[in-house]
A and B are shown apart, each in its own frame.
Chain A
Amino acid sequence: MSSKAAPVPAAAPAAQEETPFRRFVAQFAEDRIAVAGLLVFTLIVLAALLAPWITPQNPYSLAKLDLMDSRLPPGSKAGDGFTMMLGSDGFGRDIFSAIFYGLRISLAVGAISCLIAATVGMTVGLIAAYAGGRVENLIMRLVDLQLSLPAILLALILVSMFGKGVDKIIIALVLVQWAYYARTVRGSALVERGKDYVEAARCLGLSHARIVFRHILPNCLAPIIVVATVQTAHSISLEATLSFLGVGLAQTEPSLGVLISNGFQYMLSGKYWISFFPGLALLVTIVSINLVGDRLRDVLNPRLEK
Chain B
Amino acid sequence: MSPVLEVTGLRTHFFTRGGVVKSVDGVSLSLNAGEVLGLVGESGSGKSVTGFSILGLVDPPGRIVEGSIRLAGRELVGLEEGELQSVRGRDLAMIFQDPMMTLNPVLKVGTQMIETVLAHEKVSEKSARARCIDALSMMGIPAPHERLDAYPHQFSGGMRQRVAIAIALLHNPQVVIADEPTTALDVTIQSQILAKVQELCRERGTALIWITHDLTVIAGLADRIAVMYAGRIVEEGGVDAVLDRPRHPYTQGLIGSVPSRGRKGEKLAQISGSAPSLANLPVGCAFAPRCDKAINRCRVEAPVLPNAAAGSRAACHLAVPTAGQAA
| A-side contacts of B119, CB under 8 Å | 204-207, 210
| A-side contacts of B76, CB under 8 Å | none
| Interface hits, A187-213 → B, CB 8 Å | 195-197, 199-207, 210
> Which residue of chain A has the shortest Cβ distance to B139 in the bound complex?
A3
Chain A nearest CB from B214 CB (Å) reads: 19
Report if A10 contacts B (CB, 8 A).
yes
Q: How far is the CA of A4 from the CA of B142 in the complex (A)?
A: 8
| A-side contacts of B103, CB under 8 Å | 197, 200
Q: A5-B192, A6-B141, A10-B156 are in contact. Are A205 and B115 (CB under 8 A)?
A: no
Report if B101 contacts A (CB, 8 A).
yes
Q: How far is the CA of A8 from the CA of B87 in the complex (A)?
A: 34
Q: How far is the CA of A116 from the CA of B180 in the complex (A)?
A: 44
Chain A nearest CB from B263 CB (Å) reads: 30
Q: A10-B155, A200-B96, A214-B115 are in contact. Are A207 and B107 (CB under 8 A)?
A: no
| B-side contacts of A206, CB under 8 Å | 85, 89, 115-116, 119
Report if B30 contacts A (CB, 8 A).
no
| B-side contacts of A10, CB under 8 Å | 147, 150, 154-156, 159
Those 7 A-B pairs whose CB atoms lie nearest each other, nearest first? A205-B89, A3-B140, A196-B101, A204-B89, A205-B88, A203-B94, A200-B102
Q: A6-B192, A214-B107 are in contact. Are A199 and B155 (CB under 8 A)?
A: no
Q: How far is the CA of A176 from the CA of B159 in the complex (A)?
A: 48
> Which residue of chain B has the shortest Cβ distance to A132 in the bound complex?
B60
Report if A15 contacts B (CB, 8 A).
no
Q: How far is the CA of A219 from the CA of B103 in the complex (A)?
A: 12
Chain B nearest CB from A50 CB (Å) reads: 36
If A5-B140, A10-B156, A203-B57 are given as contacts, then 10 extra A-B residue pairs at C-beta distance below 8 Å, sorted by A number, are: A3-B196, A6-B141, A6-B158, A7-B156, A200-B103, A204-B116, A204-B168, A206-B85, A218-B104, A219-B105
| A-side contacts of B199, CB under 8 Å | 1
> Which residue of chain A has the shortest Cβ distance to B191 in the bound complex?
A1
| Interface hits, A210-226 → B, CB 8 Å | 210, 214-215, 218-219
| B-side contacts of A270, CB under 8 Å | none
Chain A nearest CB from B167 CB (Å) reads: 7
| A-side contacts of B196, CB under 8 Å | 1, 3
Chain A nearest CB from B215 CB (Å) reads: 22
| Interface hits, A1-32 → B, CB 8 Å | 1-12
Report if A133 contacts B (CB, 8 A).
yes
Give how many A residues have a beta carbon under 8 Å from the other chain's beta carbons. Answer: 31
B137 touches A3 (CB 8 A): yes
> Which residue of chain A has the shortest Cβ distance to B117 in the bound complex?
A204
Q: How far is the CA of A3 from the CA of B196 in the complex (A)?
A: 9
Q: How far is the CA of A5 from the CA of B141 in the complex (A)?
A: 10
B96 touches A8 (CB 8 A): no
Q: How far is the CA of A205 from the CA of B168 in the complex (A)?
A: 11
A218 touches B158 (CB 8 A): no
| 16 pairs, A vs B, C-beta closer than 8 Å | A2-B140, A7-B189, A10-B159, A11-B155, A133-B60, A195-B101, A196-B98, A196-B102, A200-B164, A201-B104, A203-B88, A204-B89, A204-B119, A214-B115, A215-B104, A219-B106
State which of B86, B89, B106, B141 has its C-beta within 8 Å of the C-beta of A203.
Answer: B89
| A-side contacts of B98, CB under 8 Å | 196
Q: How far is the CA of A12 from the CA of B155 in the complex (A)?
A: 9
B90 touches A218 (CB 8 A): no
| B-side contacts of A2, CB under 8 Å | 140
Most buried by A among B102, B154, B191, B195: B102
Per-residue CB contact flags for chain B residues 147-183 toward chain A (1 = under 8 Å, else 0) read 1001000111011001010011000000000000000
Report if B120 contacts A (CB, 8 A).
yes
> Which residue of chain B has the shortest Cβ distance to A218 in the bound complex?
B106
Q: How far is the CA of A225 from the CA of B292 in the complex (A)?
A: 60
Chain A nearest CB from B37 CB (Å) reads: 18
Report if B64 contacts A (CB, 8 A).
no
B195 touches A204 (CB 8 A): no
Q: How far is the CA of A218 from the CA of B112 in the complex (A)?
A: 13
Q: How far is the CA of A210 from the CA of B111 in the complex (A)?
A: 12
A205 touches B150 (CB 8 A): no
Q: How far is the CA of A203 from the CA of B52 in the complex (A)?
A: 9
Q: How far is the CA of A103 from the CA of B88 in the complex (A)?
A: 54
Most buried by B among A3, A195, A200: A200
Chain B nearest CB from A115 CB (Å) reads: 21
A218 touches B107 (CB 8 A): yes
B137 touches A11 (CB 8 A): no
A219 touches B195 (CB 8 A): no
Q: How far is the CA of A181 from the CA of B191 in the complex (A)?
A: 47
